[in-house]
């Protein structure tokens, strides 16, 4: 009997040790994944900063040389979707009926200060979002969509922009169309792309758009 008890205790200790090893291994894997993720974020940040002015110049040249490469496009009755504006663009935006601007750029990408918009009586909502592969947070998407809807309800136009008017700003516009124009994410994307051909979403941006669509469906079911 005593030998059997010792055997059971030994087996139990071995089992506990195995479980502890599994936990340690999982922790190591998680730490490595976090380290890799942080390294990728740092690399993207450095790359985004280094590429900002070269890619901006490229977009400016294409805009001057190709008539179809427009700086902004009207994608809804009260929404302009486009690239980062220059200070000289502000009077023109005002003439187009713009009363609100949503900036998805980080500070180093922003060319127009809020004070200049205010001088033209244009509200400015700044929602800094990292370029390349990143999407606005759900909270910022809600703020942006409400901002657009409030302006649209008063017959006022909102200019939504990031650096090139392709990913971050497009994500916001698509979420608005899904919520207030009753479009599916896929239909909204096809529609906007038919107006502004160069829009392109990263995987993370598609995911947040799908999440918004899913939440909207759930809210309708609960009504």
Chain position carrying tokens 């200070």: 87
CA nearest 123: which of 115, 131, 133?
115
- Burial profile 114-133: b = 16 or more Cβ within 10 angstroms, e = fewer: eeebeeeebbbbebebbbee
Please state the φ and ψ torsions of residue 162, each to the nearest 5 degrees.
-125, -135
Choose, from 74, 142, 162, 175, the residue flagged as catalytic: 162
Rounded CA gap, 140 and 129, in Å? Answer: 9
74 is catalytic: no
C-beta of residue 7 within 8 angstroms of C-beta of residue 14:
no
Other C-beta atoms lying within 10 Å of the C-beta of residue 9: 10
Q: Catalytic site residues?
A: 162
């Amino acid at each position: 009997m005593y030998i059997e008890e010792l055997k059971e205790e030994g087996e139990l200790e071995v089992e506990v040790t195995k479980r502890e090893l599994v936990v340690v291994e999982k922790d190591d894997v998680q730490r490595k994944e976090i380290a890799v993720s942080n390294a990728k974020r740092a690399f993207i940040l450095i790359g985004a900063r280094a590429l900002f002015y070269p890619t901006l110049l490229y977009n400016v040249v294409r805009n001057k040389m190709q008539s179809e490469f427009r700086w902004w496009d009207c994608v809804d009755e009260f929404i302009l979707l486009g690239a980062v504006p220059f200070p000289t663009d502000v009077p023109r935006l005002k003439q187009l009926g713009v009363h609100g601007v949503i900036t998805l750029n980080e500070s180093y990408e922003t060319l127009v200060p809020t004070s200049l918009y205010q001088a033209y009586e244009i509200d400015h909502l700044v929602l800094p979002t990292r370029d390349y592969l990143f999407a606005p947070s759900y909270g910022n998407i809600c703020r942006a969509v409400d901002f657009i809807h409030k302006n649209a309800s008063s017959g006022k136009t909102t200019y939504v922009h990031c650096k090139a008017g392709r990913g971050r700003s497009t994500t916001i516009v698509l979420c608005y169309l899904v919520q207030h124009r009753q479009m599916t994410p896929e239909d909204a994307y096809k529609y906007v792309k038919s107006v502004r051909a160069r829009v392109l979403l990263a995987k993370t941006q598609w995911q947040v758009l799908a999440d918004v669509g899913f939440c909207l469906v759930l809210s309708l079911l609960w009504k």
